[in-house]
Amino acid sequence: MTMNGAESLVRTMVAGGVDVCFTNPGTSEMHFVAALDRVEGMRCVLCLFEGVTSGAADGYARMMDRPASTLLHLGPGLGNALANLHNLKKAKSPVLNIVGEHATYHRQYDAPLTSDIEGIARPVSHWVKTSMSATDVARDGAEAIASAMTPPGQVATLILPADTAWNDGAGIAPLPRVAVRTPVAAENVRRSAEALRGGNATLLLGGVSLRERGQLVAARIAAKTGCRILAETSNARIQRGRGRLAIERVPYPVDQALATLKDTRAIVLCGSKNPTAFFAYPGKPSLFAPEGCRIERLADYHEDLVGALEALAEELGAPKSVAIPEAAKPPMPTGALNPDSIAAALAHLIPENAICVDEAVTTGRGFFKSTHGAAPHDWLALTGGAIGEGLCLSTGAAVACPDRQVIGLQADGSAMYTVQALWTQAREKLRVLTLIWSNRAYAILRHELTNVGATNPGRKALDMLSLGDPDLDWVGIARGMGVPGSRATTIEELAKAVRAGLATPGPYLVEVVL
């Protein structure tokens, strides 16, 4: 069967397990668009901004443990996707970016959209390649898929000049051998066991070690050694709720993090790094471990994290199983809305097997602790610190898991970065309930003014941190995107609105006025 380069690439992608494409195409990608239409098995999801495509691909990958693809228009389109590609890379998520390019013979004329696409891609990609011939496209695509699937998950960017898409291709290419997670070194296990035996130790988990299987092994290790189990501040995915280990995270505020770890004699890292502040602050340390604290790396991100924990448990002689304490659910609150009452309400309202996407920022810092007693659910957080991914993560997670309820816990300021995701949720009829914390401010930055010593801010500074004058009408914004919604000003109204949203077959938005 004769096929052009674009169709050979799409068929190679489907054969290689990449069967969802989050798209925002332009002229140079039209042959790829036509190929997507011809090939069975590829789901195409249109996004109205490239930052939504990359963020949605991240949410999809976190839930599926395999890559989706993005389709981006030349260098500027890739540039628009960069912030969430940064977040995706920090999450260790796999993705295959397809970036259109001018025809190979057209680049010499420096047309208005000509740019250094490889140069733009490299800082957020592990693998970058430009296909120079239609007969190379399928093989390059297969190589890109294998790169994306390399543990723990990588960003592969394939640049597709227009003529390599429309000229005759070479057919479907087989997938090269995909790397697997490597076993951990025996010396790492021995040294980690030694560190934990000394007492006052912390086992710091990240990556897939925070899934249920890894938690159960970590609980056995804690039962044997008395170590504390913590998660990194920002994690791609934690399985949590009743019946699962109530793991706390290293706090974001520097003073709280230092207090949490002040008596720690040793830290063992499993798919995590030495706990570090997000930013430098005058007179405060960058690293949270106390002076003299022993740091041992049990397993790096690309290694078999759960296997490493199992080897550590065996080395320690840990019990084969332990009972997981059931976390208490706080009483259902009434009355005023504040972070504590909202967190308690969420513990009651999160349905079983939900996926919670956390970009609550300042409002939601206390949500985590109060929802340990909620129904079992997955929790996805912002890993790279670049705000504006929450609505997109929800979109991708809902595409990946259409049978599960997604609940987005979303700050108002960051939601404006990629508000177009609401339109995609409506078009795809995704089960996403978005709760917007409407405090009408970049509240986290007001705190940061004080943290960095910039005291006594004036009107110009405060205006840059305010979302008022005019106030954002989130119910109106959602309606304009095709998403129904309502507004809540009390806990009772919030509970009613959440229940209405959960009963809605497609997306729903609740503006929670704080």
Domain identity same for 112 and 249: no
For residue 368, give the CATH number of its domain.
3.40.50.970
Is the four-CA dihedral 217, 220, 221, 227 of positive or negative sign?
positive
pLDDT of residue 157: 98
In a domain, 368, yes or no: yes
Domain identity same for 353 and 500: yes
In a domain, 66, yes or no: yes
Domain identity same for 145 and 220: no
pLDDT of residue 450: 60
Domain boundary among 283, 316, 349: 316
Domain identity same for 10 and 112: yes
Domain boundary among 316, 351, 384: 316
Element (H, E) at 296: strand 294-299
Domain identity same for 157 and 190: no
Provide φ and ψ at 262, rounded to 5°.
-65, -30
Domain identity same for 411 and 489: yes
What is the CA angle 49-477-352, rounded to 5? 85
pLDDT of residue 172: 96
Residue 441: other Cβ atoms inside 10 A: 18
User: Rg of the Cα trace of the chain?
Assistant: 24
Q: In what order do the strands lie in the sheet with 248-249?
A: 248-249, 228-231, 201-205, 266-270, 294-299
In a domain, 23, yes or no: yes
Domain count, the chain: 3
Domain identity same for 76 and 213: no
Domain identity same for 85 and 194: no
Domain boundary among 115, 131, 166: 166
Q: In what order do the strands lie in the sheet with 155-161?
A: 43-46, 20-23, 68-72, 95-101, 155-161, 127-130
In a domain, 327, yes or no: no
In a domain, 172, yes or no: no
Domain identity same for 34 and 140: yes
pLDDT of residue 2: 79
pLDDT of residue 446: 55
What is the CA angle 381-283-367, rounded to 5? 25
In a domain, 13, yes or no: yes
For residue 289, give the CATH number of its domain.
3.40.50.1220
pLDDT of residue 454: 62
Domain identity same for 355 and 469: yes
pLDDT profile of the chain (514 residues), mean per 10: 91 97 96 93 97 98 98 98 98 98 96 97 98 97 98 98 96 94 97 96 98 97 98 97 96 94 97 95 94 97 98 98 92 94 96 97 88 97 96 98 98 96 98 92 57 66 71 96 98 97 97 94
pLDDT of residue 366: 86
Domain identity same for 312 and 349: no
In a domain, 162, yes or no: yes
Element (H, E) at 202: strand 201-205
Which residue has 């109205």 as its token pair?
48
Structural domain that includes position 440: 339-513
Beta bridge partners of 284: none
Domain identity same for 17 and 122: yes
DSSP state letters, 24-76:
---GGGHHHHHHHHHSTT-EEEE-SSHHHHHHHHHHHHHHHSS-EEEEE-HHH
Closest CA to 105 of 158, 163, 160: 163
In a domain, 181, yes or no: no
